[in-house]
Structure 1
Amino acid sequence: MSHTRHAQPWLYRMLTPDGRQSLHRRLLSFLLVPLMLMLLIESLVIYSGALIYSNHVHDSDLADSVVTLAEMLSKQDMGDQISAQARFLLEYDPQGHNYFNVSSQKHGLLAGTASLLPPADLSLDRAPRLFDLIVDRRPVRAATVRIPSRHDPGDQLTLTIAETLHDRHQRAKEILLLTIPAQAILIAAVFALVWYGVRIGLRVLDPLTERLAAREHDLAPIGDADVPVEILPLTRIIDALFARLRGTLALQDRFIADAAHQLRTPLAGLRVHVERAQADPSPATVHDALEHIQRLTHRASRTSTQLLALTRAQLPEPENRPMDPLDLNLLIPELVGLRVHEALAAGVDLGYDGSDMPVWIEGDRATLQELLDNLIDNALRYAGRRSVVTVGVALNGGRPMLSIEDNGPGVPPAFLARLGERFFRVPGSDEEGTGLGLAIVQRIAQRHRARVLYLRSNEGGLRVEVLFPPLGK
């Protein structure tokens, strides 16, 4: 636990004291971070705007200053020197970061910083020109103007003054500091409103929570009546879960009812024959009773086995359960071979008629074996002794087909459509059965997306065809 807390500290800030995740805290956390980023971005935007405004004001003052000093110098007859008054105005700077340059076209530098050079293409014009450069490793903003010399008409004076960017940034910071408290108050107000809105907004789930809490054994769908749109995917998943659970419970109830229905007769017969043997302990009566008990026990055992098999076949199939590629032309002969001895004991000729090429399907080997066993059981039971049962594999119209047919008495055409129903047995049949074998076949075929057809064979018996979808479709 300590390792997880160290690895994801942000997650635990969104947990309640008992360690559960809090949707309320999670929403607030996801909203607070963007609000803080918005405050940071807005501060940068405000500072950039303030700096642009400060640069504009300082550029205007710098241009006015160079024009004023140019007019002052133009009125003085200074030769190759500047007056003390002009020098004082140029050199004065409380921060000590200002620079100036006064140069003559003929006499060169008259005063100031030699490295403060104006642009080479400067023309004789009263309009000042602003530019950037580096002086003493400091970025500065400069304004320059060129005027004619009063002392020498053939000479020109160039006046340049510059200032560092310190004051400009200082003014921008002052503007930013003035706006931050207001922005912080606004962000705090927005966060308080968001906190209140999230708290009130989550109360829309209260009716749904109360409605679900009032249920005991009700698995009816939740519905969409009072469910917010954002919660609909969750409630629909829960409804699907309820539906599967209802199906499972219905299957359980059906199994209990079927078991009670099918086991009632053999159990009642067992009780009758036990009482008969107790009432008449003669060897003949006891022997006859034991034969009946053995037959009824076998019937009860087969019924319970068939019921369990049908229940397994009816259980919901896991969506991600893989199906394997199977060659019916290899699998079915192997499975038929396992039943040959039983067929011989029943007096039935069990054979196989295969294809000349592989017949591939996607399926589950275990359930396919159960499907084939139930088809063979049905044929052995109802075809009769000295009958012929043939299991075949072929391609029918491009679809893999498993078939089994016999030359027994068959099924009247009126009852062919009902084969596969649970507990249905053809009227007039003398053989004992549960009526579940073909129902199991039907369910297993559905799991394989196969279709089961019940037909009359060419020999007059029953022919069952199981048509599978082609491999990969």
Structure 2
Amino acid sequence: MTAPRPPRRRPSLRRRLLVFLLIPVIALLMLDAVLSYGVALTYANRVHDRDLSDDAVALAKMLGNDQLGSQLTPQARFLLEYDPDGRSYFSVSSSRHGLLAGNGQLPQLAHAPVLGAAPTLYNTLFDKRTLRAATVRTMARHDPGDSLIVTVAETLHDRHEQAREILLLAVVMQTFLIVCILALVWFGVARGLRVLDPLTSRLAARSHELTPIDGADVPQEIQPLTSTIDALFSRLRSMLALHDRFIADAAHQLRTPLTGLSLHVERALADPRPETVADALAHIQRLTQRAARTSSQLLALTRAQAAPLETEGPQLVDLGQLIPEAVAQRIHEAIRAGVDLGYEGSTQPLHILGEAASVQDMLDNLIDNAVRYAGRGSVITVHLQARADGGANLSVEDNGPGVPPELMSRLSERFFRVAGSNEAGSGLGLAIVQSIAKRHRAEVVYQAGRERGLRVEVRFPPTAPSAARTT
């Protein structure tokens, strides 16, 4: 049996901030250590080079004394050769007599230094050791025709040792400063995050409220988050409002057919004669169809109002292809209803920015409304026309009884039906059309037909093809 995995550790904003600060601080500390060591070594080299030059000059002056001649006194030789670590070397050579003294044949410069010039400093290799040497040339006082070349050299050990000591002191001090800075950062981050406490308290104090949480005390760095949450709350409020409205509408619209179903069932049970049962079943069938149509239209209305089109990815919809095909699919149904359904318009491409399924739902509801209220023997014509500004007009016109002018403005209201209509509609078809048009930023206009009846025109805005995805 596999052991359960331990719960994943939650991410910490404070820990992330400190880690993001700690890594570059450590990198900077290492870089600073390298630079500090380089500076310290440069300083140590400069000091030791100066001392080495002074030693070479002092030794040359001692050797140039007439009283000493070209031989070193035992005391001078002892001072020059004494080095318990074996890090110092010297050599004295004469231009006439060769090597006079020294603790090794130190490599000499290819070109001897000029008489009376400052000591020449250079690096050399002797006895598998890298040495720093200083060479100076002086006159031999006992022999005006002779000159002495004095070379003093030392290993680089003392220089590196001094540089490490300086580096150690600097790193200890800088590490202490960095620790202090990190402690201050820790305190500052902890202190700074307390600014979120009022926002947390406001959210914790809420139960079912979805009001905006943004306020004057919210830091500007957190404002994008609170704005996103407020936008989410706004969408949730809209969804909950649609949910409540759907429940209220369903309860209101389904009450009548359900009550009728119950009455006809009771009538059939009370009077089992075949003619009574058949009549009750016919009423039950009509009421069931009415309830099913009302339910589907309520769902269509809720779907049309659910979300703005921009959040679902609008596309380029070719009305020149979509509308004729949608009208052709309704021909057989129109024939059964005794209606002459036709199409007038170009089949050339005519694009709008929208959603093909929603546009087809809109057209279906317009045709259903015309078929239902125009009646048998009527003529229904679907028009599609391109406008000069790049938009499109889609209209459905019938020659039915029409609508009084004073009621035109109410046709988009939910559950509104013109008085005197004999058709048992739900009053939701044109409300669905209005909601879909609103999602497409289109305008719905109600007019009287050319002869009589009703003309419903949907005016789509111009389309920017570069802003949408082609279907």
Structure-1-length-normalised TM-score = 0.85
| Number of matched pairs | 460
* Cα distance in 2, alignment partners of residues 38 and 134 from structure 1: 36
Aligned equivalent of 1:261: 252
**1:121, CA displacement in angstroms?**
7.1
> Corresponding residue for 2:50?
60
- Pick the aligned partner of 2:122 from 131, 143, 164: 131
| Partner of residue 412, structure 1 | 404
- Is residue 2:416 matched to residue 1:424? yes
- Stretch deviating more after TM superposition (104-113 or 92-101): 104-113
Matches within 5 A, 1:419-458: 419-458=411-450
Deviations 1:200-242 (A, max 9, x none): 4434433433332232212222122443443332222222221
Q: 1:50 aligns with which of 34, 40, 48?
A: 40
Q: Which moved more, 1:268-277 or 1:208-217?
A: 268-277
| Separation in structure 1 between the aligned mates of residue 337 and residue 413 of structure 2, nearest angstrom | 26
Deviation of residue 460 (structure 1)? Answer: 3.1
- Indicate conservation of the 8 Å contact 1:80/1:107, yes or no: no
Aligned-pair CA distance for 1:298: 2.7
| Alpha-carbon shift at residue 81 of structure 1 (Å) | 5.6
Deviation at 1:247, TM superposition (A): 1.0
Tell whether 2:369 aligns with 1:378.
yes
Aligned to 1:100: 90
Q: Which residue of 2 aligns with 1:208?
A: 199
> What code does the residue aligned with 2:456 have?
V
| 1:402 and 2:398 correspond | no
User: Given residue 164 of structure 1, which amino acid in structure 2 is its aligned partner?
Assistant: T
How far apart, CA to CA, are the structure 1 residues paired with 2:7 and 2:466? 53
Q: Is the 8 A contact 1:374 1:438 kept in 2?
A: yes
Residue 37 of structure 1 aligns to a residue in which SS?
Answer: helix
1:309 equivalent to 2:300? Answer yes
TM-score of the superposed pair, with normalisation by structure 2: 0.85
Structure 1 residues 370 and 71, CA gap change in structure 2 (3 angstroms) = same
Out of 147, 154, 162, the residue aligned to residue 145 of structure 2 is 154
Is 1:460 the counterpart of 2:459 in the alignment?
Answer: no
Question: 1:17/1:351 Cα in 2 relative to 1: closer, same or farther (>3 Å)?
Answer: closer
Kindly indicate whether the alpha-carbon contact (under 8 Å) linking 1:102 and 1:109 is maintained by their aligned counterparts in 2: yes
1:34 aligned residue (17, 24, 28) = 24
1:231 and 2:222 correspond: yes
Instruction: Structure 2: state its 5+ residue gaps.
Output: none
TM-aligned CA deviation for residue 402 of structure 1:
2.8
Change (3 A) 1:66 1:318: farther
Superposition map of 1:225-374 within 5 A: 225-271=216-262, 273=264, 290-316=281-307, 321-374=312-365
User: Following TM superposition, by how much is the alpha carbon of 1:435 offset from its aligned partner in structure 2, in angstroms?
Assistant: 1.9
| Residues 73, 86 of structure 1: 8 Å contact kept | no
Counterpart Cα distance in 1 of 2:309 and 2:422: 40
Change (3 A) 1:324 1:18: closer
Cα separation, 2, equivalents of 1:428 and 1:67: 128
Please give the alpha-carbon distance, in whole angstroms, between the structure 2 residues aligned to 1:243 and 1:46.
58
1:3-49 superposed Cα distances (whole Å, 9 cap, x missing partner): xx9xxxxxxxxxx9863223333333333333433433333343333
1:390 deviates by 1.5
Query: After the TM superposition, which of the residue ranges 171-180 and 335-344 deviates more from structure 2?
Result: 171-180
CA contact (8 A) 1:105 1:157 kept: yes
8 Å contact kept, 1:455–1:463: yes
Identity %: 60
Contact 2:90 2:106 survives alignment (8 Å): no
Indicate which of 168, 173, 177 corresponds to 1:177: 168
Please report the RMSD computed on the Cα atoms of aligned residues, expressed in angstroms. Answer: 3.3
